[in-house]
Chain A
Amino acid sequence: DTAVSQTPKYLVTQMGNDKSIKCEQNLGHDTMYWYKQDSKKFLKIMFSYNNKELIINETVPNRFSPKSPDKAHLNLHINSLELGDSAVYFCASSQAPYEQYFGPGTRLTVT
């Protein structure tokens, strides 16, 4: 069983489009996260949700909007995509404050 899954694995889209990335965890964790890894491999936290409530919102453009319908899901919606949004996006979960489990990543390419 996959602990943290993301869909899609690859996403290629044009500038200006709106897209969503989905994340699901079956570990029963209460906290979920979104990270962005840029081309230089720097991994930066974007958002964190605890029991469906936003607890971390780093300096991220408001074109990015996380949605947590329940504890097991944290989706990332991105409006008006820009070239600079191209990156690998990782979802993670944890039973805070313990170790985080990461998904396989979604490689987003904006053309």
Chain B
Amino acid sequence: DAKTTQPNSMESNEEEPVHLPCNHSTISGTDYIHWYRQLPSQGPEYVIHGLTSNVNNRMASLAIAEDRKSSTLILHRATLRDAAVYYCILRDNTGNQFYFGTGTSLTVIP
């Protein structure tokens, strides 16, 4: 069911930028790209989403490839509190189909 592919794990040094990639080669024209993260022992939390254009919010930036078959979540300065599993998800325009992949486990090194 998962339509996205992400690396299993990544590491980053504290206060450095992190680029988390996601491939979604079967994305349809109406699918939104969502990113969520799950901190240890917590429920997932929304990070950012986009359709075609790059997006910025207080948590992160989302860079979407021109052909929309891949995207990158950018954390501008990683902190220890950013250590989590990051999920890239495709959501159809009804909002009802929402499948999580295996995610990327991000380790932040002090």
A: residues with CB less than 8 A from B are 4, 31, 33, 35, 41-45, 48, 50, 55-56, 90, 92, 94, 96-105
Contacts and interface: CB of A to CB of B under 8 A. Distances in A.
Nearest to A45: B98
A74 to B, nearest CB: 14
Interface of B: 1, 32, 34, 36, 38, 41-46, 49, 85, 87, 91-100, 102-103
B55 to A, nearest CB: 12
B99 A96 contact: no
A43 B44 contact: yes
A42 B100 contact: yes
A102 B100 contact: no
Q: In terms of DSSP, what is the predominant structure of the interface of chain A?
A: strand
Given A92-B43, A104-B42, A99 B96 contact: no
Contacts of A98: 95
Given A43-B44, A45-B100, 4 more contacts: A41-B85, A96-B95, A99-B49, A103-B43
B46 A31 contact: no
Contact of B43 (A90, A94, A99): A90
Contacts of A99: 34, 46, 49
